[in-house]
Amino acid sequence: MATFCYFWLKFVIRMEPKKKQERAIVHLEKDGQHYYYGNLKALTDHWSKDAIGVSYSYLKNLNISEDKPYRNDYCCIRRGVIVSSPKR
């Protein structure tokens, strides 16, 4: 009986739909082009302070969001969310 319950429970767990995955993303708009990064560190590792006009240490202390982007003469930086479908 215990073996049957174990396999039934395992089957029920597999049948439950998985929730959608959400991941943070950093969006850089520069010279009319759009670039996407997983975090601010990846963005600043790819672009120099001279190219985007701001350093990582300054950006990490800001509360950048989709509604409150960072803008300067060189670029616009926003944070957002990517929603993906669950794995099957």
Residue 51 inside a domain? The answer is yes
pTM comes to: 0.72
Residue 10 inside a domain? The answer is no
Residue 34 inside a domain? The answer is yes
pLDDT confidence band for 86 (50 / 70 / 90): confident
Residue 7 inside a domain? The answer is no
Asked if residue 54 lies in contact with residue 72, where contact means CB atoms within 8 angstroms, the answer is yes
Residue 14 inside a domain? The answer is no
Residue 2 inside a domain? The answer is no
Tokens, residue 48: 């120099």
Residue 3 has pLDDT above 60, yes or no: no
Q: What is the pLDDT of residues 43-55, one digit of tens each?
A: 999 999 999 999 9
What's the structural domain count of the chain?
1
Residue 4 inside a domain? The answer is no
Q: What is the pLDDT of residues 33-83, one digit of tens each?
A: 999 999 999 999 999 999 999 999 999 999 998 899 999 999 999 999 988
Residue 64 inside a domain? The answer is yes
Tokens, residue 81: 């969310």
